[in-house]
């Protein structure tokens, strides 16, 4: 009996500090956000219950819908851009098509260590009139007055942040692919080569089937990461000009901390969580089919 108590007490001593802190800082606030999402609250006095009014307003607000579209583009760039590019790079390094694989690996992974705030300001400078990009364009086009103007276009303004996200995160996916490719036994591939299998055949029959699980994990990673993306765009454009590059997280930020609509902002944050859950469930369905196909 005594040992049982001791065991329980030890368990509590080990697990409680982390769990209590986690409950206080994450679980309780999420629950409070959920509750506040049904209210109108300016940060003082009692929150006024308004039912689903916030949610109805969110999905009618054209600014929100434009932010949602930008977020979906970010997800598309991650899933259809960063992941495939990461794979191509990883595969070239894995098959040792070049010398100095460690060097290329280290250089392409490097941007991941730089703070998104620094990355944002750095790329703003690269695109600014004194930056590398206009300098290059002036040389290439022969137009000495070239300036970077994409931000003025409502539909295209999101392109530079999309490119910078690609720049930051492709190396991360590359590293994950390399680690997983290295787990495929070399002997399997060597045997296939001896049997006369061509490169595309090796890719299709050996490599892809063993990558499906990883690509699913990466997709989840990309979806939740994309919906969280705030720092980079906040520092790069602040959602501007004219809210063209706004994403949901920035929409939530401005409603809450600029206009002090805490209830409305909370509803937006719940929408972010709900969206990532729905999108992840959707991709789980797609990957289940893919896995079945390969088995």
Partner 1 sequence: MSERRSAPWKIAAYAVLGVFTVLSVGPLVWLLYSSFKPTAEIAMSSIALPKDWTLSNYAKAWRLGDLGTAFLNSVIYTSVGTAATAFLAVAAGYGFAKFSYRVGRIAYSLFVAGLLITVHAVVVPLFVMESRLGIYNTRLGVILPYIAFGLPTAVLLATAYIKAVPDSLVESATIDGASYLKVFAAIIMPVSTPVLGTIAILTFLNNWNEFIFAYLLTSGRKLKSLPVSVNSFAGVLNTDYGMQFAALMVATLPMLLFYAVFRNQLMRGFAEGALKE
Site for partner 1 in 13-52 (CB under 8 A): 13-15, 17-19, 21-30, 32-33, 36, 43
Output b/e per residue, 18-35; b: 16+ Cβ within 10 A: eeeeeeeeeeeeeeebee
The residue within the footprint of partner 1, chosen from 209, 220, 254, 287 (CB under 8 A), is 220
Q: Which is nearer to partner 1, 157 or 233 (CB)?
A: 233
Question: Cβ neighbours of residue 203 under 8 Å, at least 6 residues apart?
Answer: 91
- By CB under 8 A, the count of residues binding partner 1 is 96
Q: According to CB under 8 A, which residues from 174 to 213 bind partner 1? A: 175-176, 178-180, 190, 193
Told to check if 224 binds partner 1 by CB under 8 A, we report yes
The residue within the footprint of partner 1, chosen from 63, 230, 240, 290 (CB under 8 A), is 230
- Pairwise CA distance, residues 75 & 82, whole Å: 10
Closest approach of partner 1 to the CB of residue 124, in Å: 8
Q: According to CB under 8 A, which residues from 53 to 92 bind partner 1? A: 88-89, 92
Q: Which is nearer to partner 1, 260 or 294 (CB)?
A: 260
The residue within the footprint of partner 1, chosen from 50, 83, 93, 233 (CB under 8 A), is 93
- Pairwise CA distance, residues 164 & 153, whole Å: 18
Q: According to CB under 8 A, which residues from 234 to 253 bind partner 1? A: 234-235, 249, 252-253
Binding mask 137-176 for partner 1 (x = CB under 8 A): ------------------------------x--xxx--xx
Q: Which is nearer to partner 1, 106 or 286 (CB)?
A: 106
The answer to whether 127 touches 160, Cβ cutoff 8 Å, is yes
Closest approach of partner 1 to the CB of residue 67, in Å: 12
Closest approach of partner 1 to the CB of residue 179, in Å: 3
Question: Cα dihedral angle (99, 100, 101, 104), rounded to 10 degrees?
Answer: -120
Q: According to CB under 8 A, which residues from 101 to 120 bind partner 1? A: 104-118
Closest approach of partner 1 to the CB of residue 65, in Å: 18
Q: According to CB under 8 A, which residues from 257 to 286 bind partner 1? A: 257, 262, 265-266, 268-270, 272-273, 276-277, 280
Task: Write the CA distances from 12 to 4, 24, 200, integer angstroms.
Answer: 12, 17, 54
Closest approach of partner 1 to the CB of residue 132, in Å: 6
The residue within the footprint of partner 1, chosen from 231, 240, 254, 290 (CB under 8 A), is 231
Nearest CA among 66, 83, 232 for reference residue 164? 232
Phi-psi region of 291 (alpha: psi -120 to 50; beta: other; left: phi over 0): alpha
Q: Which is nearer to partner 1, 155 or 161 (CB)?
A: 161
């Amino acid at each position: 009996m005594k040992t049982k108590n001791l065991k329980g007490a030890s368990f509590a001593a080990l697990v409680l500090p982390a769990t209590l802190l986690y409950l206080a800082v994450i679980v309780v606030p999420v629950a409070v956000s959920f509750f506040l999402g049904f209210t109108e609250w300016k940060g003082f006095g009692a929150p006024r219950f308004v039912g689903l009014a916030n949610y109805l307003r969110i999905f009618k607000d054209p600014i929100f819908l434009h932010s949602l579209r930008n977020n979906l583009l970010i997800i598309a760039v991650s899933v259809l851009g960063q992941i495939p590019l990461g794979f191509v790079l990883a595969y070239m390094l894995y098959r040792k098509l070049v010398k100095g694989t460690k060097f290329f690996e280290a250089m392409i992974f490097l941007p991941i260590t730089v703070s998104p705030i620094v990355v944002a300001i750095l790329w703003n400078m690269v695109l600014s009139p004194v930056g590398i990009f206009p300098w290059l364009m002036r040389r290439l086009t022969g137009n000495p007055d070239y300036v970077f103007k994409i931000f003025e276009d409502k539909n295209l303004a999101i392109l530079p942040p999309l490119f910078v996200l690609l720049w930051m995160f492709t190396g991360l996916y590359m590293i994950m692919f390399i680690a997983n490719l290295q787990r495929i036994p070399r002997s399997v591939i060597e045997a296939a080569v001896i049997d006369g299998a061509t490169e595309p055949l090796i890719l299709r029959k050996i490599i892809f089937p063993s990558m499906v699980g990883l690509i699913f994990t990466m997709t989840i990673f990309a979806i939740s990461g994309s919906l969280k993306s705030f720092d980079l765009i906040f520092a790069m454009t602040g959602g501007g000009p004219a809210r063209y590059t706004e994403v949901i997280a920035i929409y939530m930020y401005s409603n809450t901390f600029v206009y002090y609509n805490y209830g409305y902002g909370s509803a937006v944050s719940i929408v972010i969580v709900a969206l990532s859950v729905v999108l992840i469930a959707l991709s789980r369905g797609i990957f289940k089919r893919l896995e079945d196909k390969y088995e």
